[in-house]
């Protein structure tokens, strides 16, 4: 059993073969997929997919890239969406991206704080995007009082991971762990206990070896699990089982399902 804790099935890259991708994931043992909203439009699409497929759950939120285009009306709409759809299991993807800086940093910080407050009000765990903003992300989370969620596609070192875990957050390992040169995330995967770890694809991005260069999809999560197992010197079945239990606990998923 696998759970892909972070994918973007609602994105246009899957328009031509979305159902085939979902079915293929099921055949590879992916029991659940969390499809993650990054703005209001894509959050609505994520929720629509969750309503259609038993094994798909959704999150809603505004990515930091869209911070400059977001106003209170957007947050109100997202709040109403949560209140009317039972398969929304987290708030996110929210956070800070000081690498690309598509939105001004001050706008990102403002929106991140507002969305952390909203997630707390809605009693939802948060899915955090943190790129080149480790200190600021930790400070915002600490100040918010939010103590449930995941740092998705983790890009920090182990010291950063330890601080996140101390705040009650999971560390999500992406397909980049399979890259030969990705020594930092490999060290994180070695040292973070399975009890604090999730697996993700971030599909359609960050495709793992041996499919690097192609569009990523949830069925490829098996390669990430096998690399983590190799690093930890345990079976990949154990990695799959424990990270799936963690995802079910975080997102409140109660029973197994089959894809399709």
Sheet holding 197-199, edge to edge: 2-7, 30-36, 56-60, 88-97, 126-131, 149-151, 169-173, 197-199
Give the β-pairing of 149-151 and 126-131: parallel
CATH number at residue 191: 3.20.20.140
Q: Is residue 97 part of a domain?
A: yes
Domain limits for position 99? 2-251
Q: Is residue 256 part of a domain?
A: no
Q: Is residue 260 part of a domain?
A: no
One digit per residue, the tens of pLDDT, for the chain of length 260 reads 999 999 999 999 999 999 999 999 999 999 999 999 999 999 999 999 999 999 999 999 999 999 999 999 999 999 999 999 999 999 999 999 999 999 999 999 999 999 999 999 999 999 999 999 999 999 999 999 999 999 999 999 999 999 999 999 999 999 999 999 999 999 999 999 999 999 999 999 999 999 999 999 999 999 999 999 999 999 999 999 999 999 999 999 987 554 43
* Alpha-carbon gap, residue 221 to 7, rounded angstroms: 10
Q: Is residue 76 part of a domain?
A: yes
Q: Is residue 122 part of a domain?
A: yes
Q: Is residue 258 part of a domain?
A: no
Give exposure, 168-185, as e/b (b: 16+ Cβ within 10 Å). ebbbbbbbbbbeeebebb
Q: Which pLDDT does position 256 carry in this prediction?
A: 57
Q: How many CB atoms lie within 10 A of CB 49?
A: 19
Q: Which pLDDT does position 106 carry in this prediction?
A: 98
Q: What are phi and psi of 34, to 5 degrees?
A: -100, 115
Q: Is residue 259 part of a domain?
A: no
* Alpha-carbon gap, residue 108 to 259, rounded angstroms: 36
Q: Is residue 46 part of a domain?
A: yes
Q: Which pLDDT does position 254 carry in this prediction?
A: 86
Number of domains in the chain: 1
């Amino acid at each position: 059993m696998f759970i892909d804790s972070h994918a973007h099935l609602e994105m246009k890259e899957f328009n031509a073969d979305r159902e085939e991708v979902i079915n293929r994931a099921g055949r590879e043992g992916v029991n659940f997929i969390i499809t993650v909203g990054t703005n209001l439009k894509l959050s609505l699409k994520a929720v629509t997919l969750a309503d259609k497929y038993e094994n798909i759950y959704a999150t809603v939120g505004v990515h930091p890239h869209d911070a400059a285009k977001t106003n209170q009306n957007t947050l109100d709409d997202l709040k109403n969406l949560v209140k009317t759809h039972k398969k929304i299991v987290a708030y996110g993807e929210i956070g800070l991206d000081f690498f690309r800086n598509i939105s001004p940093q001050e706008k990102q910080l403002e929106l991140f704080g507002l969305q952390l407050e909203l997630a707390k009000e809605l009693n939802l765990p948060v899915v955090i995007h943190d790129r080149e903003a480790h200190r600021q992300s930790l400070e915002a989370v600490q100040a918010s009082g939010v103590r449930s969620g995941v740092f998705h596609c983790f890009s920090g070192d182990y010291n950063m991971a330890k601080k996140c875990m101390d705040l009650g957050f999971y560390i999500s390992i992406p397909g980049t762990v399979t890259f030969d040169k990705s020594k930092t995330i490999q060290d994180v995967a070695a040292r973070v206990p399975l009890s604090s770890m999730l697996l993700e694809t971030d599909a359609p991005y960050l495709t793992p070896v041996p499919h690097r260069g192609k569009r990523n999809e949830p069925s490829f999560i098996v390669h990430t699990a096998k690399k983590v197992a190799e690093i930890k010197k345990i079976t990949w079945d154990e990695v799959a089982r424990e990270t799936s239990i963690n995802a079910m606990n975080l997102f409140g998923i109660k029973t197994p399902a089959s894809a399709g």
